[in-house]
């Protein structure tokens, strides 16, 4: 469509946002220049401010997209019939992402850590990148019959996945994340076989 058509700005904004998300994951948000963004999105450098008033606005768009991905994950997992299958599916998705994590780091963990250092308006929303999935895990553990220690179990699962992600990235070895993911899946299956008892 012509430049003055209505859909074109939307398409370019989406390209800019997607490019910013990918660049932030590959090299960090603060290390990404507007020139990098223009090149990756094929949007002229001088046009970027037509779609975003500042680089901080781009940062907000990156965060919003990642938070949207978290919401989409929860929605996708809700289609699985049992809490165990949902937790297993979450771990499986992490395992499937192991090559990318080994190359660039965890997309949620790395962005959350970077934005937490900003000490600005992004700090609280950025916590949701890891806190929202962990709260979701807590709900799944509670539904499995482990309500009393669901928060601790969610912390253990999230910590194990994030720790393995850091190791896989630091050592450039996706097999480390795959191995830990498989171990966690066996741990989860064992928990359903031995549900918590109530007094």
- DSSP symbols for 157-186: HHHHHHHHHHHHHHHT-HHHHHHHHHHHHH
pLDDT given at position 123: 76
- Could you say which DSSP state residue 118 is in? T
> Is 66 in contact with 129 (CB distance < 8 Å)?
yes
Q: How many CB atoms lie within 10 A of CB 174?
A: 19
For the chain, first and last CA: distance in Å? 67
Q: What is the pLDDT of residue 197?
A: 45
Quote the longest CA-to-CA distance of the chain. Answer: 70
Going from the C-alpha of 64 to that of each of 10, 60, 70, 129, 176, the distances in angstroms are 16, 6, 10, 10, 30
Query: Token pair for residue 198?
Result: 């109530």
Domain 1-52 CATH class label: mainly alpha
Length of the chain as a residue count: 199
pLDDT tens for the 199 residues of the chain, in order: 334 444 344 588 899 999 999 999 999 888 999 999 999 999 998 899 889 988 888 988 999 999 999 999 999 999 999 999 999 999 999 999 999 999 999 999 999 888 887 766 777 888 889 999 999 999 999 999 999 999 999 999 999 999 999 999 999 999 999 999 999 999 999 987 665 544 4
Could you say which DSSP state residue 2 is in?
-
Taking residue 6's Cβ as centre, other Cβ atoms within 10 Å add up to 7
pLDDT at 3: 42
Fold held by 63-193: Tetracycline Repressor; domain 2 (1.10.357)
Q: What is the pLDDT of residue 194?
A: 60
The pLDDT, as a whole number, for residue 195 is: 54
Tell me the domain boundaries of the chain.
Answer: 1-52, 63-193
pLDDT value, residue 119: 61
**What local confidence, expressed as pLDDT, does residue 67 receive?**
92
Q: What is the pLDDT of residue 4?
A: 46
């Amino acid at each position: 469509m012509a430049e003055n058509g209505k859909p074109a700005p939307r398409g370019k904004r989406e390209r800019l946002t997607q490019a910013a998300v990918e660049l932030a994951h590959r090299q960090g948000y603060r290390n990404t220049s507007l020139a990098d963004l223009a090149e990756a999105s094929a949007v002229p450098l001088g046009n970027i401010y037509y779609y975003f008033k500042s680089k901080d606005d781009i940062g907000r768009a990156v965060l919003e997209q990642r938070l949207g991905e978290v919401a989409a994950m929860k929605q996708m997992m809700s289609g699985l019939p049992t809490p165990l299958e949902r937790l297993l599916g979450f771990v499986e998705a992490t395992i499937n992402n192991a090559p990318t994590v080994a190359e660039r780091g965890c997309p949620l963990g790395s962005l959350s850590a970077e934005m937490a250092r900003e000490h600005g308006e992004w700090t609280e929303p950025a916590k949701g990148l890891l806190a929202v999935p962990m709260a979701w895990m807590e709900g799944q553990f509670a539904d499995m019959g482990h309500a009393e220690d669901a928060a601790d179990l969610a912390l253990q699962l999230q910590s194990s996945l994030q720790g393995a992600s850091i190791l896989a990235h630091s050592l450039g070895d996706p097999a480390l994340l795959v191995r830990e993911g498989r171990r966690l899946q066996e741990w989860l299956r064992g928990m359903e076989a031995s549900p918590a008892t109530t007094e």
